[in-house]
Chains A and B, each alone.
Chain A
Amino acid sequence: MFDVARVVEAWPLLAKGAWVTAQLTVAATAVSLIVGTLSAMLQLSGLRAGYWLSRVYVSAMRGTPLLVQLFVVFFGLPLLGIRGEAFLAAVIAIGLNSGAFVTEILRAAVLNVPRGQIEAAEAVGMSRWQLWRRTILPQAFVTSLPALTNEFTILLKATPLASVVAVTELTYAGQLVIARTFEPTEILLTVAAVYVAFVLCLSQVSRRMESRFARRWSIQ
């Protein structure tokens, strides 16, 4: 049966793991947003080379398992002289992987910005960069907020993979406890419950953000 004492005993370690999971999620989300935005801009910039670079990046990330990508980064970093940085490798791999999906989301959103608005901005004499920064991107981010939140939920659910390169996030913390006690049931179910709670929190936050933007810009 479910023995609560085992959970209580393991809790300090699990809580530390949960904190690392949160850090990992936030850092990878930042990488994902930055890379995804740049990649989307590159793809729509009109530069032939930029377009293909972005397409190949998206295709490679979407076509291969994150686990394998993580290994490639983890074993690739030492070749660049960066050693023993499992957390960094996980942030890069998860961030780059998610960035491909963010590229696709933003690309669709940018293409949906009404043509007239872009012409209006051009008529005011905005530069290309101003056009992107002041007219296109803000709208693209707001309209794609639901899709982006969904993507970052998926990102959160991918962070346990970092356990395979021994990042002591939540899942690895759980494994460490189990390796000592040989009692997987309580620990694994608790770990699963913490993830469910994380996901619920994330969707709450995003719902708030969506309704705030929706009210301010009166977008449905």
Chain B
Amino acid sequence: MNSEFTPAVEVQDLRKSFGDLAVLRGVSFTVAAGEVVCVLGASGSGKSTLLRCVNGLTPATGGDVRIGGELLGQRETAPGRREPLPEAERRRQRRRIGMVFQLLNLWPHRTAAGNVMEGPMIVLGMTRKDARERAERLLAQVGLLDKADVYPARLSGGQQQRVAIARALAMEPEIILFDEPTSSLDPELVGEVLNVMQDLARRSTTMIVVTHEIGFAAEAADRIIFLDEGRVLEEAPPLQFLHNPRHERSRRFLEQFLSRSSAFLSSSTPPPAGESR
């Protein structure tokens, strides 16, 4: 659909303020199709807000986001003149962007499969049978086919996040955003989620991942963006960023982080059960 040269995501001079507080102060970057970009930064650097603006959950104060070349949330009526898109159009755009959240927010009144089927059935108008087939395929992909008919209350946090990933995949989005998907999980459950994400990366899924898991960033990212006080301070391949950051602030961030999470870097977790295909 898109030309090979159109970036999957293009963010230009994105700005967001809450009252007097400027959270994003002109962020620009692009993500190519099939690329995995990890966004790092201290808490309060604007990472989560950035993702929420990219998928339009939070309206930006200024700047543009383009998905596959298409302007998000607005349309040009004449050169230089824009108007907000109608709600139905915005919903159509949101379908193209999957999102996995920090907090566990599966719908508790739907089974694992029901959570995955909801979007395809309600939004894409799929039949129950087709949606079920897709849900089973995706649950198998995240290693949870045996939990298809279990309600979220009976799933561990890690399992819930894997279902959330399947739920996002079910809409066949062009890009998936991850907002610290492992930060509300117990440490022993982090690995299974990261493994599913790594598997997605290997399948050339376009992903923007906000994370504190530097080990994951090192292994899976094509590029790291370091966000500091609402600006992109550094943009580099992971090895370069992790071993030879250019900025003093990046270095301090990494030092603080590595001293705290060195344990995670060395540990390599086994692949999830259902990964063989």
Chain A directly contacts chain B within the complex, with at least one CB pair under 8 Å: no
Q: Which residues of A contact B (CB under 8 A)?
A: none
